[in-house]
């Protein structure tokens, strides 16, 4: 049982790492939104692993994290919806979806500036 | 633990604003504003009732949801800290509610306009979320409350629907989400280690071990990102400067206090046995960076609203200076005078900054622009607004008898008591820099114009009055605080030495403004001084340019993302090495 929890924990760490990397490196807002979801899922998997391992209480299958997790998923979903709505509105206004506004417009402004 | 008498009021404090949100949406149109007015009055009544109930019982109010005690159930709990924040927020919301009637009335010709409907409902949503942040006794409920706060705040940034403000809103949302994911990760680690998220139970069970340490570092860093403490402030200036004035006042005065309050909760109530002096020094060092960079960059702005926004970046720094000062002689954080000072600073800033944004908004409305160099003559056209700006500025500088002045006194005492003289230096330099941009703006505003200004739009007397009232609240807060915490700081408030230091502050600020500001106020300096000061000014401008460049770099997304991780690691290291 502990092994499964460890495995899930490692998966969670991997997801969080990937997501944070993408969130920082990718300049496109849509990818940032997806990356946020990857990080969020990593945290949720970790919570699942904590519940499965029983955590401090030592029960197998602690139900409290499951309840919190569902709330967390709802929050993440609302956040994604809000971000996508803003992005669509931005696209309607400007015809492009980029966050690079107050960076000084350089002729060689390439990737990396989000 | 049981529900105390009056505990139900805590539920009302959260519920009343949210009922207002739903009713406002359901009824729609101009009813949203009517609902908001009623809700604001009702909510203020609830806040006063909570204060009365706490004064009667002399202890914290507790409400157990469904009658289940933690760890199974969830508790709402209001202590003194929560109470003062709730009262302060109620006052500021009241002021903003009066001010915004002029800006966000629904025009007579239409049934429903987008901006007013959104503004009034989200104003209530922000209030409800803030009250939830203040009374939650549970780290997960706090997470939900913080997210609600962010979701309510982000649309306020882009109320006018222009591309720039949409971009600012999206940046704000994404960075805040990154911060809250860090916070949630920390909460999960704590649950894994201790099997509860209730603040009181956690504080009894918590021991310094790797999981706790990681949780403390992650949660602190995540919350700092949401508070926009330097160097994690990339989203704040465009978001706060681009929003309509009433919304800026909410965002700058209130919203950032939510996540700041949570840092205070965590450090003083959850982690007092885990955090140490080193990590507190790090927190205050970031604050000092905020004060230096924020103030200098504010001084270099050409637009008034951006100046005020950068002043917020700096003032957030002050809010974090109390942490090392609160480490008393006994090892560990305790609820000392420094904490009182920090709370005073927060309330003082909430009222003063809201008033300042309101005044800037009125000036913008009348002139049609807010370029600082073009402010000449505005003091004649809008005397009340300029007076409001000056009073709010005086409150931010910490002139007596403002709340910030009492806070500064408390900080000085704590610094002297614990031998941390360097924070006194930071406070002094910060006050001087604050004075400099206030003097700069006033020097321009007080200049006579070549021809008198005709306001483009009539300025609402009520809006001017609301802004002035908030500025006066901030300036007179010292008297209230004096009654409440019975310290003798104010009895010496009007002694000669304090008068001198106030004059010195203003004169020094003027000199700094002349040296560092982009455009010299035309009446401030004579030719001889200019000739003498030219090399000095060149050096100062170069230094200011360096700081502005640093600020620009830090506000690039990749840099800010890495900075967040670096801050988290630095806190982890500071806590680890201190033991």
- Are B568 and B231 within 8 A, CB to CB? no
| Interchain CB distance below 8 Å, A114 and B195 | no
| Interchain CB distance below 8 Å, A50 and B191 | yes
- Angle, CA of A32, A38 and A42, to the nearest 5°: 145
Look at residue B518 in the predicted model and tell me its pLDDT.
59
Distances (CA, A) of B392 to A22, B335, B386, B389, B539: 42, 28, 10, 5, 30
Q: Which of B496, B498, B478 is nearest to B487 (CA)?
A: B478
Q: Which of B1, B142, B129, B146 is nearest to B61 (CA)?
A: B1
Structure tokens at B323: 């942490």
Predicted TM-score of the model (pTM) = 0.89
| Interchain CB distance below 8 Å, B158 and A86 | yes
- Are B73 and B65 within 8 A, CB to CB? yes
Size of interface A-B (CB pairs under 8 A): 117
Residue recorded with tokens 């006042």: B249
Contacts of B175 in chain A (CB under 8 A): none
Structure tokens at B349: 């800033």
CA distance B20 to chain A (A): 21
d(CA B553, CA B562): 12
Closest residue of A to B153, CA-based?
A82
- Residue B266 buriedness (CB in 10 A; 0-12 / 13-18 / 19+): buried
- Are B193 and A56 within 8 A, CB to CB? yes
DSSP category for residue B136: B
Beta bridge partners of B371: B303
Residues 6+ away with beta carbon under 8 Å from B402? B348, B352, B394, B395, B474, B475, B476, B477, B478
Contacts of A90 in chain B (CB under 8 A): 163, 166-167, 170
d(CA B223, CA B190): 16
- Are B314 and B298 within 8 A, CB to CB? yes
Tens-digit pLDDT string for chain A (114 aa): 457 778 888 999 999 999 999 988 888 889 999 999 999 999 999 888 888 766 566 666 777 888 888 999 999 999 999 999 999 998 888 877 777 654 443 333 333 333
d(CA B19, CA B526): 60
| Interchain CB distance below 8 Å, A29 and B151 | no
Structure tokens at B532: 């003498």
Q: SS3 letters for B283-315?
A: HHHHHHHHHHHHHHHHHCCCEHHHHHHHHHHHH
Helix/strand/coil percent split, chain A, to 5: 75, 0, 25
Contacts of A26 in chain B (CB under 8 A): none
| Interchain CB distance below 8 Å, B151 and A86 | no
Look at residue B530 in the predicted model and tell me its pLDDT.
59
- Are A103 and A109 within 8 A, CB to CB? yes
Look at residue A94 in the predicted model and tell me its pLDDT.
83
Whether omega before B186 lies within 30 degrees of 0, making that bond cis, reads: no
- Angle, CA of B554, B556 and B557, to the nearest 5°: 115
Residues 6+ away with beta carbon under 8 Å from B550? B293
Put simply, the chain B residues between 155 and 194 with a CB less than 8 A from any chain A CB are 155, 158, 161-164, 166-171, 173-174, 177-178, 181, 184-185, 188, 191-194
Contacts of B191 in chain A (CB under 8 A): 47, 50, 55-56, 64-65, 68
Look at residue A42 in the predicted model and tell me its pLDDT.
93
Contacts of B164 in chain A (CB under 8 A): 101
Task: Check if B69 contacts A (Cβ < 8 Å).
Answer: no
- Are A87 and A30 within 8 A, CB to CB? yes
Contacts of A64 in chain B (CB under 8 A): 191
Look at residue B365 in the predicted model and tell me its pLDDT.
86
DSSP string, A30-78: HHHHHHHHHHHHHHHHHHHHHHHH-GGGT-SS-HHHHHHHHHHHHHHHH
Tens-digit pLDDT string for chain B (579 aa): 777 888 888 999 999 999 999 999 888 778 888 888 899 999 999 999 998 888 888 888 888 888 888 878 888 988 888 998 999 999 999 999 999 888 887 777 777 788 888 899 999 999 999 999 999 988 999 999 999 999 999 999 988 888 888 988 999 999 999 999 999 999 999 988 888 888 888 888 888 888 889 999 999 999 999 999 988 988 888 888 888 888 999 999 899 999 999 999 898 888 887 888 888 889 999 999 999 889 888 888 888 888 999 999 999 999 998 888 887 645 555 657 788 888 888 999 999 999 999 999 988 888 888 888 888 888 888 888 889 999 999 888 888 778 888 888 888 888 877 778 888 888 888 888 888 888 888 888 888 777 777 777 778 888 888 888 988 888 888 777 665 554 554 555 556 666 777 777 777 777 777 766 656 555 455 555 556 667 777 777 787 788 888 888 888 888 888 899 999 999 888 888 866
CA distance A23 to chain B (A): 8
Structure tokens at B482: 């004096």
- Residue B481 buriedness (CB in 10 A; 0-12 / 13-18 / 19+): buried
Look at residue B481 in the predicted model and tell me its pLDDT.
67
Closest residue of A to B138, CA-based?
A68
Q: Coil, strand or helix: which one is B431? A: helix
d(CA B229, CA B213): 21
d(CA B418, CA B100): 45
Phi, psi of A95 (to 5 degrees): 80, 0
Residue B527 burial (CB count, 10 A): 7
Q: Which of B137, B88, B114 is nearest to B29 (CA)?
A: B114
Contacts of A103 in chain B (CB under 8 A): 556
- Are B205 and B75 within 8 A, CB to CB? no
- Residue B472 buriedness (CB in 10 A; 0-12 / 13-18 / 19+): middle
User: Could you report the predicted ipTM of this complex, rounded to two decimals?
Assistant: 0.86
Look at residue B31 in the predicted model and tell me its pLDDT.
84
CA distance B279 to chain A (A): 24
Look at residue B163 in the predicted model and tell me its pLDDT.
84
Phi, psi of B62 (to 5 degrees): -130, 140
């Amino acid at each position: 049982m502990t092994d499964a929890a460890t495995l899930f924990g490692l998966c969670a760490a991997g997801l969080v790492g990937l997501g944070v990397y993408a969130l920082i490196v990718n300049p496109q807002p849509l990818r940032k939104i997806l990356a946020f979801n990857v990080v969020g899922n990593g945290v949720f998997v970790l919570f699942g692993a904590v519940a499965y391992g029983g955590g401090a209480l030592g029960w197998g299958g602690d139900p409290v994290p499951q309840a919190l997790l569902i709330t967390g998923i709802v929050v993440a979903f609302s956040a994604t919806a809000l971000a996508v709505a803003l992005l669509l509105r931005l696209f309607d206004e400007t015809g492009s979806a980029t966050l690079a506004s107050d960076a000084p417009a350089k002729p060689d402004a390439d990737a990396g500036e989000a | 633990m049981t529900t105390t008498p009056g505990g139900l009021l805590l539920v009302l404090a959260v519920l009343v604003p949210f009922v207002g949100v739903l009713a406002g949406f359901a009824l729609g149109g101009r009813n949203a504003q009517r609902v908001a007015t009623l809700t604001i009055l009702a909510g203020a009544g609830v806040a006063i009732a909570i204060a009365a109930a706490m004064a009667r019982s002399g202890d914290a109010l507790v409400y157990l949801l469904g009658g289940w005690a933690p760890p199974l159930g969830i508790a709402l709990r209001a202590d003194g800290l929560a109470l003062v924040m709730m009262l302060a927020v109620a006052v500021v919301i009241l002021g903003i509610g009066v001010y915004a009637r002029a800006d966000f009335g629904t025009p007579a010709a239409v049934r429903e306009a987008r901006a007013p409907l959104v503004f009034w409902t989200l104003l209530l949503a922000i209030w409800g979320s803030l009250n939830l942040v203040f009374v939650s006794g549970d780290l997960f409920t706090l997470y939900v409350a913080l997210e609600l706060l962010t979701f309510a705040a982000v649309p306020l940034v882009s109320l006018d629907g222009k591309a720039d403000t949409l971009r600012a809103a999206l940046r704000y949302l994404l960075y805040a989400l990154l911060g809250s994911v860090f916070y949630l990760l920390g909460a999960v680690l704590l649950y894994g280690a201790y099997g509860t998220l209730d603040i009181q139970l956690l504080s009894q069970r918590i021991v310094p071990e790797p999981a706790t340490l990681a949780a403390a570092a992650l949660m602190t860093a995540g919350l700092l990102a949401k508070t926009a403490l330097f160097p994690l402030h990339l989203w704040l200036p465009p978001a706060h400067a681009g929003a309509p004035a009433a919304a800026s006042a909410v965002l700058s005065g209130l919203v950032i206090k939510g996540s700041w309050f949570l840092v205070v909760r965590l450090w003083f109530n959850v982690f007092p046995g885990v955090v140490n002096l080193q990590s507190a020094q790090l927190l205050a060092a970031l604050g000092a960076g905020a004060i230096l960079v924020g103030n200098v960059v504010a001084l270099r702005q050409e637009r008034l609203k951006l100046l005020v926004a950068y002043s917020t970046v700096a003032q957030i720094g002050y809010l974090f200076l109390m942490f090392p000062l609160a480490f008393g002689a006994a090892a560990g954080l305790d609820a000392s005078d420094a904490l009182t000072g920090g709370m005073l600073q927060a309330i003082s800033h909430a009222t003063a900054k809201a008033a300042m944004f309101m005044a800037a908004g009125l000036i913008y409305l009348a002139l049609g622009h807010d370029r600082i160099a073009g402010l000449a003559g505005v003091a004649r056209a809008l005397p009340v607004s300029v007076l409001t700006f000056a009073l709010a500025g005086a409150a931010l500088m910490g002139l007596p008898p403002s709340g910030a002045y009492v806070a500064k006194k408390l900080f000085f005492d704590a610094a002297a008591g614990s031998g941390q003289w360097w924070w006194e230096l930071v406070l002094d330099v910060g006050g001087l820099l604050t004075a400099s941009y206030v003097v700069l703006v006033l020097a321009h505003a007080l200049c006579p114009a070549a021809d008198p200004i005709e306001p483009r739009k009539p300025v609402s007397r009520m809006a001017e009055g609301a802004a002035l009232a908030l500025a006066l609240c901030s300036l007179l807060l010292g008297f209230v605080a004096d009654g409440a915490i019975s310290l003798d700081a104010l009895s010496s408030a009007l002694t000669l030495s304090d008068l001198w230091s106030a004059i010195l502050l203003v004169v020094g600020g003027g000199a700094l403004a002349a040296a560092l500001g982009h455009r010299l106020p035309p009446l401030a300096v004579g030719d001889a001084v200019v000739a003498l000061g030219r090399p000095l000014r060149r050096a100062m401008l170069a230094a200011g340019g360096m700081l502005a460049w640093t600020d620009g770099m830090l506000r690039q997304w990749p840099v800010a993302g890495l900075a967040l991780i670096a801050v988290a690691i630095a806190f982890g290291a500071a806590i680890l090495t201190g033991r």
